[in-house]
Amino acid sequence: MSVSFKESLKSTLRETLIRLNIDLTKNLKYDRLTRKILQAYLKPDYNCVDVGCHKGEIMDLCLTYAPKGKHIGFEPIPYLYQGLCERFESKAKILPYALAEANGTSSFQWVKNAPAYSGLKRRRYDIENPEIEEIQVELRTLNEVVGPERIDFLKIDVEGGELGVLKGGLEKLKQDKPLILFEFGKGASDFYKTRPEDIFNLLCHEIGLRIYNLKSYANGGGISLEINEFKSCFDEGTEYYFVAAP
């Protein structure tokens, strides 16, 4: 069985499970809730930014629900970047940068047999024998590369480097107050020495957003998380994907 056929079969199965609301794994649950959130939130002309674009699953949703918006994706792994450029040619702007707090260059840990785990720092890998190649990537800040265009939706999935992305876009995020979908969990973010308090204070107190778990927000908003609840999610590993909203 070829690799491409396996990937196609896996994608078809994933799509079927999402449409049937069958959450075999927490990741499938998050995928389903993400789709529900974006379908409800995005308007046709909304602008979206996808940080850690990977294979383009979220970018696909942005193009589906906001076809008239201006969209930007960031992916520093060379082969994924090239694939995204070919796939989204003329539909979205794809850039080969890792977003961070400041411009520069950095080593980057490319996990070749599990690229979704790749990031600026080594982290805990939930696979046997991770095959890691260290490459050099360019660092840019969100404030600099996005420019004057309004950001309506921002996704951050960078395997622990979330705080750096947010700090590098603080000026822009305070101005636009977009909906932010972000990953934050033990086993990744703690390798960057990021604490729940750091993320909570920046998003809630500096930018002026509120944090929700995906299920609560997808089902109408509900009650936002207080700092002790957000910290508990991190410490106990009960949730690792969240929404920050105005």
Q: Token pair of 189, please? A: 């973010």
Q: What is the pLDDT of residue 2?
A: 42
32 is a domain residue? yes
Q: Within a domain: residue 106? A: no
Q: Is residue 135 part of a domain?
A: no
Ranges of residues in the chain whose predicted pLDDT is under 50: 1-3, 5-6, 9, 13, 20, 24
pLDDT, position 85: 96
Q: What is the span of the domain harbouring residue 56?
A: 16-97+144-245
pLDDT of amino acid 221: 72
In a domain, 171, yes or no: yes
Residue 210 burial (10 A CB sphere; 0-12, 13-18, 19+): middle
Give residue 9's pLDDT.
Answer: 46
Element (H, E) at 33: helix 26-41
Residue 175 placed within a domain: yes
Number of domains present in the structure of the chain: 1
pTM here is 0.89
**115 is a domain residue:** no
